[in-house]
Structure 1
């Protein structure tokens, strides 16, 4: 098994109504999150962000004219113990690059790595998200309803 690189992209997705897209993990149904994934060898964080959106929800953002916003923010967090085996031995921390993306919620989503998705209010997202860095990104980068 190839180890994951301990650097990732987090993409907070929201729609034209300022609702946040939440994804329920298959390997931990109590864990709701935004799109996220590890950088592949030679990949820039923004490339990872676009790739992960396409892989996890089936939306080619560039083809739809959606532009990722790079918040030039990195979070460093301790990797959950249940996932440490995915990283090189001795790796404890991951560096996360934060992005956001507004998409049209009328577009059909195709899930490949999650059980289900829900469009929820910003407040509901903040209450349900597991990851502190994901909560912070929603809080900071999803516009409030006017």
Structure 2
């Protein structure tokens, strides 16, 4: 198995009604999150963001000409011990680049890495998300309902 690069993206998806897309992880059903994924060698963060959204949801935002918002924000967090084996030996921290994407919630989703998905309001998302950086991104970058 090739090691993951300790640099990733977080992409918060929300719809026209400001509902947030939550994804339930296959490997930890208690863990709900936004789209995330490790950067590949030679890939820019924006390229990773578009790729991960397409891989995890089936939404090809680039092909649909949906603009990805780069918040020029990086978080650094300690990698959960249960996932350390995926990274080079001695790696403890990951750098995460934060993006958001507004999509139409009627677009069909095709899950490849998650058990299920739900569109929930911002308050519900904040209550259910596991990751502090994911909660912060939803809080900061998903508009409040007018």
Residue 109 of structure 2 corresponds to 109
What is the TM-score normalised by the length of structure 2?
Answer: 0.99
Quote the RMSD (CA, aligned, Å): 0.3
CA apart distance, 1:64:
1.4
Once the two structures are superposed, residues 13-59 of structure 1 have per-residue CA deviations (whole angstroms, 9 ceiling, x without a partner) of 00000000000000000000000000000000000000000000001
TM-score (norm 1): 0.99
Asked if 1:55 corresponds to 2:55, the answer is yes
Aligned to 2:81: 81
Which SS does the other structure have where 2:11 is aligned? strand
Q: Which runs of 5+ in 1 are unaligned?
A: none
Gap runs ≥5 in structure 2:
none
**What stretches of structure 1 move > 4 A for 4+ residues in a row?**
none
1:139 matched to 2:139? The reply is yes
The equivalences for 1:38-49 within 5 A come to 38-49=38-49
